[in-house]
Chain A
Amino acid sequence: MTETFSGSRGLIIEEGLIFEQDTLGQSGVDLAEPAPVVDRLGGLERKGRIGLPGLSEPTVVRHYTRLSQKNFGIDSVFYPLGSCTMKHNPRLNEKLARLPGLSDIHPFQPQSTVQGALELIDMTAHWLKTLTGMPAIAMSPAAGAHGEFCGLMAIRAAFNDRGEKRTRVLVPESAHGTNPASAAACGFTVDTIPATARGRVDLAALKAKLGPDVAAIMVTNPNTCGLFEDEILEIAEAIHGVGGYFYCDGANYNAIVGRVRVADLGVDVMHINLHKTFSTPHGGGGPGAGPTVLSAALAPYAPLPAVVHDDKGFRLIEHAAESGAKPVGRIKGYHGQFGVFVRALAYMMSMGADGLRQASTDAVLNANYLLAQLGDDLSASFDGPCMHEALFDDRFLKDSGVTTLDFAKALIDEGYHPMTMYFPLVVHGALLMEPTETESKDTLDQFIASVRGLAKRAKAGEADGFKAAPVHTPRRRLDETLAARSPVLRWTPPAVAKAAE
């Protein structure tokens, strides 16, 4: 088949930038003429063209529809991106988040006019505290990394309050990059703990690093190898033994909701990613929400605001003086990711205590099924059982000429979003698969068949096909080196772009 004249290939349609579809003076919004007034701009009226393109509504709708068709999403494909919990996003959540009484309310309305919103925050907090067994929660963190930051701030404040100067935070080498970055943002230095051959925190190495200057340890549990830290109680005891705090990264909480009482693991503080565990959409990168549960010892340092309830109804505590505690201040505008809370609460109510427990069970079952079915074809990094994700490394590709990246790109042609690649860093050429509980056995079986077929093909010496993948996509492999070497981070009009060359 020869090239098409348009460059499009059936359902895969070439689409230029909005800036290349500009019709001078066009707009997709009808607005009335402004009333004639004497302006109050003090002579600062903006002169000259801003440079925004003019487009009609049909042009805009078609543009974004075409762009959407160039994306994989959970709605269309199996998306086993490890560490990201890409589970089904129920549309009921979206519907309820759009009720005018929840979406069309302002954060600074008199509190008497938003009692339902404050009650909703309180109710979401109640579910999360009850599920984890933790006594307190900070609702304002905007995402997981922000929750880590919130928790570390509380830890830092607690030590400052006691007049203790502690500077070091211990982080296992398998941790997400956000852990050390959040610790650094709180002014801590980071000390890395190695992993054992069993993919867990090396307890002996941890104990060797402990000292009176250690403020906390940050442990992801289940960890990023998809394993439960079976020495978690010993880890907690060790850190508490030197007066430090146990920060649990709750990124992988989906594996244990309703089955494990977090408070009983010795955890002092843990963030929860509502956009992972509680089904709110990832939206192409966000927004998320990272409510952070705290022990009684750290609760006084939680950031503002807080919602409280008394005989007059619900009330926001917005200032330290009225809190009766020692908050670290405010870390986010307004009152948290309210729109995300609505979705998460709708999900929790839908699932209920029984359904949430079943969801974790099925998530773990699905991951163990992948581990069992693919163990002979790929190379499993660690023995099972795993928790919600199955980790493989690239030993099975040895001498095949195929890399983890090539393997992932070939999976795209099979109609799957690839697993997480090259993370965690503790194994070589990692392939981290997180199927979640919202995938059926049929989907998993089809995926397993594709992966087995690809593994066989790789071992048979068909590396060239892998190097060329993906083929059936709007674009083939993109040149990332070029993008970084000569960054083009925005569109510029052709004349300007040419002049700049």
Chain B
Amino acid sequence: MRYLPLTDADRRTMLDAIGASSVDDLFRDVPVAARRDAPVDLPHHASEMEVERRLTALAQKNLSAGCAPFFIGAGAYRHHVPAAVDALIQRGEFLTSYTPYQAEVSQGTLQYLFEFQTQVALITGMDVANASMYDAATATAEAASMACRVTKRKKIILSGDLHPHYRSVTASTLQFTDLEVEALDPDPIGIEDMLGRIDSQTACVVVQNPSFFGRVNDLRALAAACHDEGALLVVVVAEPVSLGLVTSPGEMGADIVVAEGQSIGNGLNFGGPGLGLFSTKDKYVRQMPGRLIGQTVDSEGRRGWVLTLSTREQHIRREKATSNICTNSGLCALAFTIHLSLLGEEGLRKLARINHANAVILAEKLASVKGVKLLSQTFFNEFAVQLPKPAAEVVEALAAKRILGGVPVSRFYPNYPELADVLLLTATETNSEGDIDALVAALKEVL
């Protein structure tokens, strides 16, 4: 077995050194009733070639995004990831290391995470960011709970423009705490009255920008209303490429920003792993969840980095910690930071403009199709349209023509009949003009 270096001769020598007669002897503390005497009923070991053959067969049963005109977003975005990103994250010193507990032999990880924290703070327009969470959905729940610690209040309001998974994860995650979560109805056209709901009991308001339905919102009035009542504004960004073109949450008054980092540096991977970005203001840093990297000096006075402020964390504070998180998304954070380093200021801004331009072109072409109505008056690279028939049927009909034409909102909200005809579509730099024309032509046929 190729991953096991011990030989039978080694095993015998080692058992002798231990003074055990057999390996079974080493398992003598296991109750007899729970011991297995023979291998489990599963296939036996297999060669590389054999495993590759089996998993390739599974892969071939999927229609991959690169093999079809592709317009799906809804929180997971398909962008071109430069070849250097994947080559670098596969360096064994990154891939096969763990949490940088021993700083002297982890300066590589610590430095890139310090750079990552800086990049996340810059793009979100905040003071400080942590070294990553699992994904935006879980990070949203963490942000809401942090806002309650900061304000010492218990009422959380989730906007109807929040991604339905972020919304349900937040509600589920906090259901057994003493915090109250009020989730507003889905709001595709932006009519909810959030300002009227904020009062002196409100810990935080959680909104998404651009919204789940694509809208780009000016959040300044909302931020002011929150701050007037002593509440925090939590802003969630599902598509961080938008931050190259859209005013940042920090500039609009956000107190905590959560984002899904997948779309920079990371592939789709059927939705996991994701990368939770989390940033806030300096004054709230001690209430933050997750790991933080800080700058310091070594015994010779040279600059270096360490894990810091860990008295917030579970390994020190146990049940009093700000979160139970331990393992995070380090490698995804590395991919994110390398991709963003390659893009740089100019690259991110240009990439964002290309995404927006492609989405505008897609929206205009779709709006010219009879029966299709554009619902999002403003948007970045994703928008909602109203179709003359159920969107789920349309998407299946498009898939039959090998076109992955967006996500029916009914997949998330099956109990809202008024949303049955609403379709979410995304365009990124990966969409060619030919893709867009193919979608428009196919849509005309299936409507």
Contact = CB atoms under 8 A, between A and B. Distances in A.
Interface stretch (A68-76, A204-212, A396-404, A458-466): A68-76
A233 interface: yes
Contact of B115 (A189, A328, A491): A491
Given A51-B345, A303-B172, A73 B92 contact: yes
A284 B135 CA distance: 17
Given A102-B55, A103-B268, A372-B19, A131 B64 contact: no
A63 interface: yes
17 contacts: A43-B218, A55-B341, A61-B88, A63-B341, A100-B66, A102-B58, A106-B404, A113-B63, A187-B178, A282-B99, A284-B100, A285-B330, A285-B333, A331-B172, A332-B137, A441-B10, A483-B295
A498 B354 CA distance: 37
A474 B56 CA distance: 42
B373 to A, nearest CB: 15
Nearest to B383: A40
A450 to B, nearest CB: 15
B175 to A, nearest CB: 7
A351 B423 CA distance: 44
A285 B58 contact: no
Nearest to B325: A145
Given A72-B106, A490-B117, A113 B291 contact: no
A109 interface: yes
A489 B285 contact: yes
Interface in A367-403: 368-369, 371-373, 384-385, 387
Contact of A101 (B36, B62, B300, B376): B62
A116 B60 contact: yes
A17 B341 CA distance: 11
Interface in B321-344: 321, 323-334, 338, 340-344
B23 A64 contact: no
B244 interface: yes
Given A37-B356, A45-B247, A488-B295, 14 more contacts: A17-B114, A50-B349, A68-B108, A76-B92, A112-B396, A350-B45, A352-B42, A365-B6, A423-B315, A438-B5, A440-B6, A441-B6, A474-B104, A476-B299
B104 A333 contact: no
Given A28-B343, A473-B104, A285 B99 contact: yes
Interface string B253-275: 00000001000000111111110
B63 A50 contact: no
Contact of B334 (A131, A184, A283, A357): A283
B44 interface: yes
A483 to B, nearest CB: 4
Contacts of B66: 100, 104
A106 B175 CA distance: 29
B309 interface: yes
A321 to B, nearest CB: 8
A495 interface: no
B138 A232 contact: no
Interface stretch (A239-247, A292-300, A340-348): A340-348
B160 interface: no
A387 B70 CA distance: 50
B39 interface: yes
A385 B20 contact: yes
A475 B341 CA distance: 24
A447 interface: no
Interface residues of B, number: 211
A287 B331 contact: yes
B128 interface: yes
Interface stretch (B25-33, B194-202, B223-231, B437-445): B25-33
A96 B52 contact: yes
Given A65-B91, A71-B93, A351 B1 contact: yes
A53 B341 contact: yes
A177 B325 CA distance: 10
A99 B51 contact: no
Contacts of A138: none
A350 B49 CA distance: 10
A181 B323 contact: yes
Give the one of B176, B291, B376 with max A CB within 10 A.
Answer: B176
Contacts of A364: 23, 26-27
B343 A52 contact: yes
Contacts of A17: 111, 114-115, 118
A254 interface: no
B377 A27 contact: no
B344 A55 contact: yes
B327 A106 contact: no
A283 to B, nearest CB: 3
A10 interface: no
Interface in A31-78: 31-32, 34-47, 49-55, 57, 60-61, 63-65, 67-76
B93 A69 contact: yes
